[in-house]
Amino acid sequence: MLLGVAAPTLAIAIAVAVSSVVLVISGDDPFEIYSAMWEFGTQLNSIISMINRAVPYYISGLAVAVGFKMNLFNIGVEGQYYLAGILAAVVGAWLDLPAPLHVACICIVAMAVGAAWAGIAGVLKATRGVNEVISTIMLNNIVGLGLGAWLMARFRESETGGSLQIATEHIPASGLMPDLNSWLEKIGLDVPQGSRLTGFLLVAIAVGVVFYLILERTRFGYDLRASGMNAWAAASSGVSSNAMVVKAMLLSGGIAGLVGMSYVLGDFGRFTGDFPTNLGFTGIAVALLGRNHPVGIGLAALLWGFLERSAQRLDLMDVPKEIVVIMQGTIVLSVVVAYEIVRRIRAAQLQREVSAQTDDERVSDVTGAGATA
């Protein structure tokens, strides 16, 4: 258990060390900078901003993690959430429903679009053996290099009111997610002007809980993880690996569809040309850092949000805030190195335990004849 905490801590320590070296080389005082980041990042409006940033990262991380559990690398969350965002916003503006239902419908559309787009990669892999890394990269590019722009051109808002902003029609108020400021005020916090805690936080938490229940507690999740660990053995236990590839991609894409929804249903209220990108790639890093576990991914997403929020303070100090990106990259790399080291320590420990259990047995060949055929 102690080892479980050791790896991420070690990784963050390495990342801080590397960033400090970079800062010192470029003539800055790391301690001054870190304390300024901490001071700024722990103010209430910074914490709200951190959570708002973490919400899409978290959902994105979960989407990627579903793939990882099935031994699939869905690098296409990027395209899936972007496409889902556009189409959900279009449908949302067009629908006219009572409030909770309206929001639910928009989310369902987003999930369906994400699932369908990811499903293409799933079907191609299951039926034609196309590597999902390549197909999802291509699907990303199809959205990013034209399909997105084409859809925006088709569905762009008719009454621009003189604005040059390219955007879809506004979603009516019944289709928007209320913020959670009133909850914060209820517990006695004084929310600063202009800060809004996104209501989509609740959806993110729900997705995390459902993710955990499905993967760890249901038969379907067991089948999915079994197939990811060993497709042959899973097939012998009655799990069709091809069907599971498609199902896992659909699930992953469905979750991916929700990634951008905190923007569409929150501050933006529609899909705009400056919709945030790269959330899908961030999700990969967050999923890796969080070890595909819903709590771990949550912590990783919050860390990412914190780093990005507190980096804004750096501009005032005349330090490039890109130091944070270097930190993030170093964290990802060092966390896997740290996990690898911990894994080896644990394997050695286990080996000792097992042989203590069985030292009365004859020394046996390491591989065992079962592995030879």
Partner 1 sequence: MSILEAHTVERDPGDRSRSSRRVSPLRWVAIAVAGFVVLAVIGEITDSGSLTGRGTFGAAVRLALPIGLAGLGGLWAERAGVINIGLEGMLILGTWFGAYGGVEYGPWWGVVFGVVGGALGGLVHAVATVGFGVDHIVSGVAINLLGPGVARYLNIVVFDDRTGATQSPRVSGDVGQLDLPFLAGGPILGWDTPDVLGWLARQEWFVLSDIGGALRGLTGGLSLVVVLGLALFPLTWWVLWRTAFGLRLRSCGEDPIAAESLGVNVYRLKTIAVTISGALAGLGGAVLVLVFASIYREGQTAGRGFIGLAAMIFGNWRPGGLALGAGLFGYTDAVQLRDEAAVHSLLLFVAALLAVLGVWSLARRRSLGGVLAVVAAIAVFAWWALTDEYPTQFVGFTPHITTLLVLAFASQRLRMPAADGAEYRRGQGR
Partner 2 sequence: MIANRDVNLTVAPGEIHAIVGENGAGKSTLMKILYGMLRPDEGTIAVDGRQVTFKTPTDAIAAGIGMVHQHFMLADNLTVLENVVLGAEPRKGLRLDRDAARTRIREIGEAYGMAVDPDRMVEELGVGDRQRVEILKVLYRGARVLILDEPTAVLVPSEVDQLFENLGELKREGVTIIFISHKLDEVLKVADAVTVIRAGTTVTTVDPKDVTARDLAELMVGSELPTPETRESTVTDRVVLAADGLRVTSPEGRTLLDDVSFRIRSGEILGIAGVEGNGQRELIGAVLGLQHLAAGTISLDGADVSSWSTRRRLEEGVGYIPQDRHRDGLLLEAPLWENAALGHQTAAPFSKGIWIDRAGARARTEAIVADYDVRTPGIEVPAHALSGGNQQKLIVGREMEAKPKVLVAAHPTRGVDVGAQAAIWDQLRDARAAGLATLLVSADLEELIGLSDTLVVIYRGRLVATLRPEEVTPEVLGSYMTGATVAEGAA
Kindly list the residues in this chain that would bind partner 1 in the complex (CB under 8 A): 22, 26, 73, 75, 124, 128-131, 133-135, 137-142, 144-147, 149-150, 153, 281, 284-285, 288, 320, 322-326, 328-330, 332-333, 336-337, 340-341, 366-367, 369, 372-373
Contact indicator for 65, 290 with CB cutoff of 8 Å: yes
Residue 129 near partner 2 by CB under 8 A? no
The 3-state secondary structure of 326-349, one letter per residue: HHHHHHHHHHHHHHHHHHHHHHHH
Partner touching 236 among partner 2, partner 1, none, CB below 5 to 8 Å by kind: partner 2
Partner touching 164 among partner 2, partner 1, none, CB below 5 to 8 Å by kind: none
Smallest separation (angstroms) from partner 2 to the CB of 166: 45
Partner touching 128 among partner 1, partner 2, none, CB below 5 to 8 Å by kind: partner 1
Residue 163 near partner 2 by CB under 8 A? no
- The full DSSP string for 15-55 is HHHHHHHHHHHTT--HHHHHHHHHHHHTSHHHHHHHHHHHH
Q: Tally Cβ neighbours within 10 Å of residue 238.
A: 8
Residue 159 near partner 2 by CB under 8 A? no
Q: Let me know the angle formed at the C-alpha of 293 by 260 and 74, rounded to the nearest 5 degrees.
A: 50
- Tokens 């899936």 belong to which residue? 80
The 3-state secondary structure of 11-26, one letter per residue: HHHHHHHHHHHHHHHC
Give me the phi and psi of 225, to 5 degrees please: -70, -35
Closer residue to partner 1 (CB): 258 or 307: 307
Partner touching 232 among partner 1, partner 2, none, CB below 5 to 8 Å by kind: partner 2
Residue 195 near partner 2 by CB under 8 A? no
Give SS3 for 283.
Answer: helix
Binding site for partner 2 (CB under 8 A): 216-223, 225-226, 229-230, 232-240, 347, 350-351, 353-359, 361-365, 367-373
